[in-house]
Each structure stands twice: as structure tokens, then as C-alpha cells.
């Protein structure tokens, strides 16, 4: 990544660019770069730790989503159903989701977005198995094929992911936050979000695609802010204190707010539709949103992973073909 010439010894933008130049190793030659060979593990142990955290976190999330779905089914069978947010069982699912998201939160501090986001495939698989076993949802042969393809796509996405080492400091986040790419992206995202929210609130349109698109738009902000907060905490522990910068608290507020509204819209989707439909479709939207956010905000990229993306999304689409509405 080319760095601009410094404008002066104390110039913050120049310092940030110099820092970014040192942080990135896009396509750097060397054994094991961008592969899952033994050399890859030797060179990317910190990334592997992030991958393991993401896998465990997504397993917990799959359990939490099914608990929330079960609470909706249980309440619907009552003669005078209470609001779902008054259910202890539903709050138990929310608590488990928070625990799982903490695993993902930590994972983003150790590995790139383009490496962690596709691992949500674990939550799709786990949710499908749990929903079939305990909620009596249907799982067809095409769903099993889709799960297999999703795993294959995940493997290829991880294999093609570049060997990126990036230390997220407050200065780096500030530089990205005011970049023109991110500002244009945010304007477009806000416009799309407002249009969808108009149809959802004013027109009463609660189609799954609208609900999950709202979730995905919020998820892009969540991913950006989670990686920023997690990265700055990690940087503070390993190098210099970053928690005194205002950008840390700005990102923290964005992270909390976007997570809260994500839960709101995702919960509405799980209430109206089967888990074997909602979870795979939501993960497709989330993965696209997260990878886009990683490319635009953190300037990550996937290199030659087009085949992997195609296989991955095709597999997820097969899992989410059943659109039976829950009445």
C-alpha cells in the first residue's frame, strides 16, 4: 500500500499512512502465504486463535437463536400470549447470543474481517441441526448439499484470504473513519436503510428479505466498530494505550447501538419464519455486508477468491430455499 509523503513531523494523516504501510503485508511473498499448509499455521498462529474463537462463538449463537425461536413458539401456543420480551426463556437466548458475540468480538481483534465473517457458516450448520432435532423443522437433501458447499466455500475463502497483519490503533481508525470511501458508503447505506425502514414501519411490509437486509446494513457498522474496539483494546494490551482517544468511545457507542437494533430486526424475522430459512439467508446477507465493510473501511481484500465466494453463497442459498412462513 503506497504511503503519501509526510507533510510535517507532527502530521497525523502522514503518521497514520506510515503506520498502515507497516501494518499490511498484502500478497507478500513467502512460504505458506494464503494457504492452509503447515507453514500457514506457523506464520499465522494469532489468526488461527481468532478463527477458533469465531467457531466457538458461532456455535453458541446457533444455540441462542433456536432458544429464542422456541420461546416464540411456546408463547404463540398460549391462550393469552405475553410479549416475547417478557419471557425468561427468550432473555436466556439473548444472554447466550451475547456470550457468542463476545467470542466473535475477540476474534476480530486477532484476524481480518474477511477471514472471520465467513466462519458464521458454523452457526448456520449448528442452527440447522438443532432446529431439525428440537423444533421439528424440515431439512431436505438440498439443504444438506448446501451445507456441504457452504463448508467447502468457507475453506476456500480462508485459503485465499491474504496474509494480513494489521495493528488497529486509534490513529488508524481515525484515518479510515474520515476516508472518502467510507463516507460515500455510509451515505448510500443510510439512504437504503431509510427506504427499507419506511416500507417496514409505514407500509407494514415484513418480508424476510427486508428484515434481513436491515440486519445486514446494521451488521456492516457492527463489524467495523467491533474490529475497531477489539483492535484498539488488543493494541493497548500489547503496545500503547489507545482507550483515551475519543474515537474509541465513538466506535463503542456505534457497536452497542447497531447490535441492539440488529437483535430487534433479527428477532422479528425468527418470529415470522422458520429457523432453517432465516439463519442461512441472514448469514448470506451478513457475509456480503461484512466483507464489503472490510474492503471499504479496512481496505482488506480477497484476492482470487471469486470461486470460493460463488461456491459459498450458492451453498448458503440452497440451505435457505425453504421459505415457509410461521403463522
**For the chain, percent of residues with pLDDT exceeding 70:** 70
Give tens-digit pLDDT for 72-115: 777 778 777 777 777 788 888 888 888 888 888 888 777 777 77
More confident residue, 209 or 135: 209
**Average pLDDT of the chain, as a whole number:** 74
Q: What is the pLDDT of residue 250?
A: 92
Answer whether residue 304 shows pLDDT above 70.
no
Residue 253 scores a pLDDT above 90: yes
What is the maximal distance between C-alpha atoms in the chain?
A: 72
pLDDT of residue 38: 54
pLDDT at 191: 95
CA gyration radius, the chain: 20
Q: Is the pLDDT higher at 62 or at 193?
A: 193
Confidence grade of residue 192 (pLDDT, cut at 50, 70, 90): very high
**Residue 158 pLDDT level (bands cut at 50, 70, 90):** low
Q: Write out pLDDT tens, residues 116-133.
A: 777 777 777 777 778 777
- The structure's pTM equals 0.66
Domain ranges for the chain, please list them: 31-319
What is the arithmetic mean of pLDDT over 286-295?
Answer: 80
d(CA 162, CA 300): 9
Q: What are phi and psi of 79, to 5 degrees?
A: -65, -40
Most confident of the ranges 168-172, 182-186, 266-270:
182-186
Among 160, 120, 104, residue whose Cα is nearest residue 319: 120
Where helices occur in the chain by DSSP H, the ranges are: 12-23, 38-43, 45-76, 88-108, 113-116, 121-134, 141-160, 170-177, 180-201, 208-238, 246-272, 275-297, 306-319
Angle formed by the axes of helices 246-272 and 170-177, nearest 10°: 70
C-alpha cell at 226: 467491533
pLDDT mean over 20-27: 43
Is there a contact between 110 and 46 (Cβ–Cβ < 8 Å)?
yes
In angstroms, what CA-CA distances link 50 with 57, 120, 214, 299, 321?
A: 10, 13, 27, 19, 31
Average pLDDT, stretch 25-44?
A: 46
Cβ atoms < 10 Å from Cβ of 264: 14
The model's confidence at residue 305, banded by pLDDT at 50, 70 and 90, is very low
Amino acid at each position: 500500500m503506497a504511503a503519501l509523503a509526510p507533510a510535517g513531523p507532527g502530521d497525523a494523516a502522514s503518521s497514520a499512512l506510515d503506520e498502515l504501510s507497516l501494518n499490511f503485508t498484502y500478497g507478500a511473498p513467502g512460504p505458506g502465504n494464503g494457504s492452509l499448509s503447515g507453514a500457514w499455521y506457523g506464520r499465522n498462529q494469532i489468526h488461527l486463535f481468532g478463527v477458533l474463537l469465531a467457531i466457538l462463538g458461532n456455535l453458541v449463537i446457533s444455540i441462542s437463536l433456536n432458544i429464542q425461536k422456541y420461546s416464540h413458539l411456546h408463547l404463540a401456543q398460549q391462550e393469552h400470549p405475553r410479549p416475547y420480551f417478557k419471557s425468561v426463556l427468550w432473555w436466556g437466548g439473548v444472554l447466550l447470543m451475547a456470550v457468542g458475540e463476545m467470542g466473535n468480538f475477540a476474534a476480530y481483534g486477532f484476524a481480518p474481517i474477511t477471514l472471520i465473517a465467513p466462519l458464521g457458516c458454523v452457526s448456520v450448520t449448528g442452527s440447522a441441526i438443532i432446529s431439525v432435532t428440537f423444533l421439528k423443522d424440515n431439512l431436505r437433501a438440498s439443504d444438506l448439499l448446501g451445507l456441504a458447499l457452504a463448508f467447502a466455500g468457507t475453506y476456500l475463502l480462508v485459503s485465499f484470504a491474504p496474509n494480513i497483519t494489521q495493528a488497529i490503533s486509534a490513529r488508524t481508525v481515525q484515518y479510515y473513519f474520515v476516508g472518502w470511501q467510507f463516507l460515500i458508503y455510509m451515505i448510500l447505506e443510510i439512504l437504503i436503510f431509510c427506504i427499507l425502514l419506511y416500507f417496514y414501519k409505514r407500509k407494514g411490509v415484513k418480508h424476510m428479505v427486508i428484515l434481513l437486509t436491515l440486519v445486514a446494513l446494521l451488521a456492516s457498522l457492527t463489524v467495523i466498530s467491533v474490529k475497531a474496539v477489539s483492535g484498539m483494546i488488543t493494541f493497548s494490551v500489547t503496545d500503547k494505550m489507545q482507550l483515551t482517544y475519543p474515537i474509541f468511545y465513538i466506535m463503542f457507542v456505534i457497536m452497542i447501538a447497531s447490535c441492539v437494533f440488529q437483535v430487534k430486526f433479527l428477532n422479528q424475522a425468527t418470529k415470522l419464519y422458520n429457523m432453517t430459512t432465516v439463519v442461512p439467508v441472514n448469514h448470506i446477507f451478513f457475509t456480503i455486508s461484512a466483507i464489503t465493510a472490510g474492503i471499504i473501511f479496512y481496505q482488506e481484500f480477497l484476492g482470487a477468491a471469486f470461486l470460493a465466494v460463488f461456491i459459498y453463497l450458492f451453498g448458503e442459498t440452497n440451505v435457505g430455499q425453504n421459505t415457509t412462513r410461521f403463522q
